[in-house]
Amino acid sequence: MHMRLNEEQKMIQKTVRKFVEKELMPLEPDVLRNEREGKPGITPEQKKELQLKAKHLGFWGINTPAEYGGANLGQMMQAIVAMELARTFVPFNFGGYADNILYYGNEEQKKKYLIPTINGDRISCFAFTEPGAGSDTRRINLRAEKDGNEWVLNGEKVFITNGNEADFAMVFAVTDKQQGQGGGVTCFLVDRDMGWKSEYIHTMGEWGPASLIFDNVRVPEENILGELHGGYQLGLEWIGFARWIVGARAVGAAERLLQMAIDYAKQRVTFGQPIAERQAIQWMIADSAVEIEAARWLVFNAAWMLDQGMDNRHYASMAKLFGANMGNRVVDRVLQIHGGMGYTKELPIERWYREARLWRIYDGTDEIQRLIISRNLLKGHVKLGESM
């Protein structure tokens, strides 16, 4: 049993951390200023330039198959990279990536959608959530009706990441009401120029999702992704894949925040002593460190299981649930340690505070994760200690 990163993983972790510290962290003051002025943290041109710099270091398509120009480093490496990138709030991700379900496209669809997305020439969005279908995914109502060799889409999607920037969407629509909730759903590849519109949704954080409006949008038959009426399982595969990544991001952000609290506690003096000498502060630091480590290994376990070809859904829910809540507890303690300064916009803590609250909602709420975990145990799908 080996519970440490191997030399290759340590080397990549060190390289990514150096990239974050050298290329991304210096941009943080500009990002804060831009966001407070209602502008994007970094421009698309800046992001592309940074991605090309990273590409020269070999960070391109972390989990993209080699046949598409990716590194195909595996899920454990994906977890490590996600943690390191989350140590900064600069909105950046390595290039060479495409949504996993795009690989189900036929050869023509891969040429038109998958490969350009991997190369950074196209931007996609995953359009699943609706006003009445969030956690209850089976309540999708956006409908698609057949008309000759086209499908006509009508309805709305909400809280769609990249929905304002995307030039095509993976849209899930009801194509056969007779199959019941979740049964007759199909995934369509829908270009923006086919007629759908996006509207910006203002949130308490810097995440700016979109509502997507479909008003008699006509989509050719050949734009069905996967099988007709087989879209619901594709959607669940996308959601399940992404879930444990939330925990990884929470670990990286919490680690950076805790270090800020440690540094501040050692230099902030009250009543003649640094507050680091106060037991109340020490306990907050200790509890945070323990919880970060626990979350880290829950994430690594979920990622490792995927690399072994195992079903990790139960453990991905655990990593997401614990990691998201851990991140919220840590940022709250860090703000408390900083006192009034932590509450100001001069420091990025309040920004992280608002971002962290989202972790407990998207990709499945706390309540949904608890439902999944308890149901698996109560129905005997998973036995306690089984992963050992």
pLDDT given at position 182:
64
- CATH 2.40.110.10 domain residues, the chain: 124-229
Q: What's the CATH number for 7-97? A: 1.10.540.10
pTM over 0.85: yes
What is the rounded CA–CA span in Å between residue 70 and residue 348?
34
Model confidence pLDDT, tens digit, residues 144-166: 999 999 999 999 999 999 999 99
Confidence at residue 367, expressed as pLDDT on a 0 to 100 scale: 96
Structure tokens at 153: 């889409």
Q: What parts of the chain have a pLDDT lower than 50?
A: none
The pLDDT, as a whole number, for residue 243 is: 87
pLDDT value for 25:
97
Residues of the chain with CATH 1.10.540.10: 7-97
* 304 three-class SS: helix
- The rounded Cα 338 to chain-centroid distance in angstroms is 28
34-to-30, 88, 91, 337, 342 alpha-carbon distances in Å? 6, 16, 12, 27, 20
pLDDT of residue 282: 98
Listed in order, the ranges of the chain carrying CATH 1.20.140.10 are 233-378
Q: Which CATH architecture has domain 233-378?
A: Up-down Bundle (1.20)
DSSP string of 102-158, one letter each residue? GGGS-HHHIIIIIHHHHTTS--EEEE--BTTBSS-GGG---EEEEETTEEEEEEEEE
DSSP 229: T
pLDDT of residue 387: 67
| Contacts (Cβ under 8 Å, ≥6 apart) of 162 | 123, 124, 125, 210
346: its two tokens:
């001069």
**Is 124-229 assigned to CATH 2.40.110.10?**
yes
What span, in angstroms and rounded, lies between the C-alpha atoms of 281 and 269?
12
Q: What is the DSSP letter of 38?
A: T
Question: What is the pLDDT, as a whole number, of residue 33?
Answer: 94
Query: Looking at residue 181, what is its pLDDT?
Result: 63
Neighbours of 290 (CB within 10 A): 11
